[in-house]
Amino acid sequence: MDPFELTDGVVLLRTPGPEDVDRIAEICQDPDVQEWTTVPSPYRREDAEGFVGGYVHDGWAKGTACTWAVRDAADGTLVGMVGLVMEGAGSAEIGYWLAPDRRGQGLMSRSVDLVVGAAFGRLGLVRLSWRAFVGNRPSRRVAERAGFRVEGELRGGGVQRGVRRDEWVGTLLRDDPRPAGARAA
């Protein structure tokens, strides 16, 4: 699958490249990114290099994952990451994180709306899933704003660095009603 960009004029989603490694490594030092995601901890520059040069590149090349750097459309600054991991049979799981200084500005909600629109449009998917460790209320708010239905809590459903954690799960189907203002791509 060839990488593609998405934008609404406020955020620009573009595949991260080698020039983004230092910024990714910097953001992944944030205690909240480490608390709520499965990134390595401690997070090293080599981890960011492997993420960009391996996971991101291979995901697009093999059609197993689509990963975008969330950028400020005005100046191109990388402020976060959003991606889809293909689950098969027309389904993918969405995941995301955002730099601490850019939270609370609606940037991730805009980004998720763009990715959901592309998932159900350009990519032809019929279902998206979302998971977050219990307590990650900002992630849950973003998912709910995008129209995901939080369907429950799985005890010990997630694994973070070898430890089982409870997680919330939700889904969004292509034909589900989308909130007013949701963006299509």
* For residue 85, pLDDT beyond 70: yes
Instruction: Please give the pLDDT value at position 145.
Output: 95
Instruction: Please give the pLDDT value at position 146.
Output: 96
Is the dihedral angle over the CA atoms 40, 48, 63, 153 positive or is it negative?
A: positive
Asked whether 68 and 83 are in contact (CB, 8 A), the reply is: yes
Q: Shortest CA distance to 133 belongs to which of 112, 156, 113?
A: 156
Looking at 3.30.360.10, 3.40.50.720, 3.40.630.30, 2.130.10.10, the CATH number of the domain 6-173 comes to 3.40.630.30
In the chain, where the domains are located: 6-173
Q: Would you say the pTM of this structure is higher than 0.85? A: yes
